[in-house]
Chain A
Amino acid sequence: MIRVTGLTKRFDGATAVNSLDFEVERGEVLALVGTSGCGKSTTLRMLNRLIEPDEGRIEIDGRDAREVSPDALRRGIGYVIQGVGLFPHWTVAQNIGTVPRLLRWDRGRVRARVEELLDLFGLEASEYADKYPSELSGGQQQRVGVARAMAAEPAMLLMDEPFGALDPVTRGRLQDEFTAIRQRRGITAILVTHDMDEAFRLADRIAVMDAGRILQIDTPERLLRGPREGFVRQFVGLDDRALRILSLHRVSELSRPAADAPAPAQWVAPGDTLREAASRLIWEAGDSLAVVENGRVTAEIHAADIWRIGARGEA
């Protein structure tokens, strides 16, 4: 668990980060969002002491971060930097093995861990381990970047715009992969992004920052239903909040029993979001939709139920 209290940083008299307090539970992903210069990257870099805070306290699993040497602290925290930052003169395996080697793991253990991580990220070890970063696509480089951060099984990951440099399709695929890996491995992470959609997709809680302060910190749904006046409301965006709320829920949450039948022309899967279901319903001008698994109807979903979720009210 990470607990931050009163974290403050000033540059040349200007306050970049102003007395932040927040906590991140084990297995939780917190997103820091805001415009450029709001202090989100500075906050992230204070957590691994790449920037030393002026005031405040950072506790990681109950231990004050200042008690540990910066290098030792950083070896225990995974760091995914903006623009991937793989070492171009090292192979994929050497890149992923960076922190384990700093921790003096023996050769065999490093190799095994590299192969395990490549496998986790869907990269065939025999094909990719000895390649250089320049031989990989942007998406593969980004996967290796995240794998490198996870290599020494750190207590948490710090991710600075991890998928920022990718095209929308690749970014979407990597976000899904990240979510899947989280569910299998349980990742604690603090993620910095200026992309609200990325925050909604990846984070359990979102902290909206402006001018060095956290204006609101909440779950995505509560942030959408009850954004504070002013910057938060503007940044979160109210125009399509009903649809955004729907995209936070899955079809399986609202499934009602239905008779077994072959799949009709229009249907949804249990894992699809309510937003996708709503889009199909509007297209079909219908009030219900079949939920299909393995080519057979297993349940159905009603338009009225979906609209209720998207309507105003408490989450």
Chain B
Amino acid sequence: MKNASRRSAAVYALPALAGLALLPFLDFRANRIVSGEGVMLWAPEGGSLLGAATLATLILGTVLIGAQLGRFVAALAALALLLWLAGQGAATLSAEAPEFARISLGGGFWIAAAFAALAAADAVARLSLGALVRIVALALPALGFGLALRGGLFDDLSILREYAANRDVFDAALGGHMRLVLGSLIPALLIGLPLGWLCFSSRRARTVVLPVLNLLQTTPSIAMFGLLMVPLGALSRAVPALRDWGVGGIGAAPAIVALALYALLPIVANTYAGLVGVPETMRDAGRGMGMSRARLLARVELPLAAPVILTGIRIVVVQNIGLAAVAALIGGGGFGTLVFRGMGQAAMDLVLLGTLPIVALAILASLMFDAIIETTRRGGAR
């Protein structure tokens, strides 16, 4: 067991070290568009020799330390040092550079950061903490990162330069993204949960509903937006009052409808599977003691099916946080706006500014749902 966890720690540590050794840590460009020159970690304006040696020691520590808690701390410390060195390096570089110069994070940084994060996640998983403790264990470093961000540690990195230049677009994108995700989740739940119950109680409904939803799920998202433009456009022309609500062929409405449609299959399928998984003896006991059908559903069947249903909702939320990026193509807003604008301007930092919050939101959502699912399992597991 100990050797197995050491082997997996090595699987994270070696690519991290190799990435730092072979790829630039930072990327220096004279302006936003031109291609840059790499700055290696050990260069004086990169991380300096001392910083590089300390970082390598911490990364090796994730393999050599026996205790999982020690591994977790070493991986987190490596991650923190990576970020700090990047911030410091960017400050050093920009002090001597013209105003339009851009300093972005290099391949070495990204690979090392990704594998250090994986090593930390792996150590946390092996600690087998409860979901709530796990959230706290990850919230504290996240809080530290947030404070460093606020304090201006990373202000000289190009991604934050992009943020500073696009602050109102970013804030609008955050609001738009949340609106897309929640706006599609709520109708999907209102339709999906009863539909899942219907599939469970009627064989005929099941043979119709599930194949249709499967078909919907396999429709490519861009095609779905295109397909929805026609009926929603027609609808807003026929009922002009709807236009005031933002319903039209383009904009947030078709995006929300499409995301809600994609959300239906996991919700319906998991509601159905969760209810089917409730043992027949539970229904027999409940009915035999004189529970009405509604009470049986509310007090016995739904609570016992909750972990499976919530797993479906978790899939939907994480999936739609990602899918919502595509909504920008039809003017639906969200972080996709930044991504597509960045692609249009060949500004990778702007693309990253749109992508990183999407990843962060997805991780946040899945951690939150894991905690909720775990609490619903309490006492329910046999």
- Measured CB to CB, the residues of A under 8 A from B are 48, 50, 70-75, 79, 81-91, 98-99, 102, 132-134, 148, 158
Contacts and interface: CB of A to CB of B under 8 A. Distances in A.
Contacts of A72: 290
Interface residues of B, number: 19
A52 B241 CA distance: 54
Interface string B255-284: 000000000000000000000000001101
Contact of A82 (B281, B287, B380): B281
B381 interface: yes
B289 interface: yes
A132 B303 CA distance: 15
Interface of B: 281-282, 284-292, 295, 300, 303-304, 379-382
B290 A99 contact: yes
Nearest to A69: B290
Contact of B281 (A48, A73, A85, A132): A85
B289 A89 contact: no
A71 B288 contact: no
Counting chain B CB atoms within 10 Å of each CB, which of A72, A102, A148 scores highest? A102
A48 B382 contact: no
A81 B284 CA distance: 8
A70 B292 CA distance: 9
25 contacts: A50-B284, A50-B287, A72-B290, A74-B288, A74-B290, A79-B288, A83-B281, A85-B285, A86-B285, A87-B282, A87-B286, A87-B300, A87-B304, A88-B380, A89-B303, A89-B304, A90-B379, A91-B379, A99-B289, A102-B289, A102-B291, A102-B295, A134-B379, A134-B382, A148-B289
What DSSP secondary structure best describes chain A's contact surface?
mixed
A79 B300 CA distance: 17
Contact of B287 (A74, A83, A148): A74
B285 A79 contact: yes
A97 to B, nearest CB: 11
A75 B286 CA distance: 10
A87 B381 CA distance: 11
A72 B292 CA distance: 10
Contact of B379 (A75, A79, A89): A89
A50 B283 CA distance: 11
Counting chain B CB atoms within 10 Å of each CB, which of A81, A87, A99, A133 scores highest? A87
A229 to B, nearest CB: 37
Contacts of B285: 79, 81, 85-87
What DSSP secondary structure best describes chain B's contact surface?
helix
Contacts of A79: 285, 288-289
Contacts of B300: 87
B380 A98 contact: no
Contacts of A99: 289-290
B284 A89 contact: no
B288 A81 contact: yes
A133 B281 CA distance: 14
Which 9 A-B residue pairs are closest in the complex by CB-CB distance? Answer: A74-B290, A75-B290, A85-B285, A79-B288, A85-B281, A132-B379, A89-B380, A71-B290, A89-B303
A133 B379 CA distance: 8
Contacts of A85: 281-282, 284-285
A251 to B, nearest CB: 40
B300 to A, nearest CB: 6
Contacts of A89: 303-304, 379-380
Given A81-B281, A87-B282, A88-B304, A74 B289 contact: yes
Contacts of A50: 284, 287-288
Given A50-B288, A74-B287, A88-B382, 12 more contacts: A50-B284, A72-B290, A79-B285, A81-B281, A81-B284, A84-B281, A85-B284, A88-B304, A89-B379, A99-B289, A132-B379, A134-B381
Nearest to B293: A71
A169 B80 CA distance: 61
Nearest to B377: A89
A104 B288 CA distance: 17
Contacts of B290: 70-75, 99, 102
A259 to B, nearest CB: 56
A68 B285 CA distance: 19
Contacts of A132: 379
A93 to B, nearest CB: 13
B86 to A, nearest CB: 48
A158 B300 CA distance: 22
A147 to B, nearest CB: 13
A87 B290 CA distance: 14
B283 to A, nearest CB: 9
Contacts of B282: 85, 87
A50 B382 CA distance: 27
B17 to A, nearest CB: 46
Counting chain B CB atoms within 10 Å of each CB, which of A74, A86, A89, A133 scores highest? A89
Contacts of A82: 281
A45 to B, nearest CB: 8
A83 B286 CA distance: 14
A284 to B, nearest CB: 48
A283 to B, nearest CB: 44
A236 to B, nearest CB: 30
A82 B288 CA distance: 12
B289 A75 contact: yes
Contact of B291 (A71, A81, A91, A158): A71
A88 B376 CA distance: 12
A160 to B, nearest CB: 9
B227 to A, nearest CB: 42
A73 B292 CA distance: 12
Contacts of A158: 288
A157 B290 CA distance: 14
Contacts of A73: 290
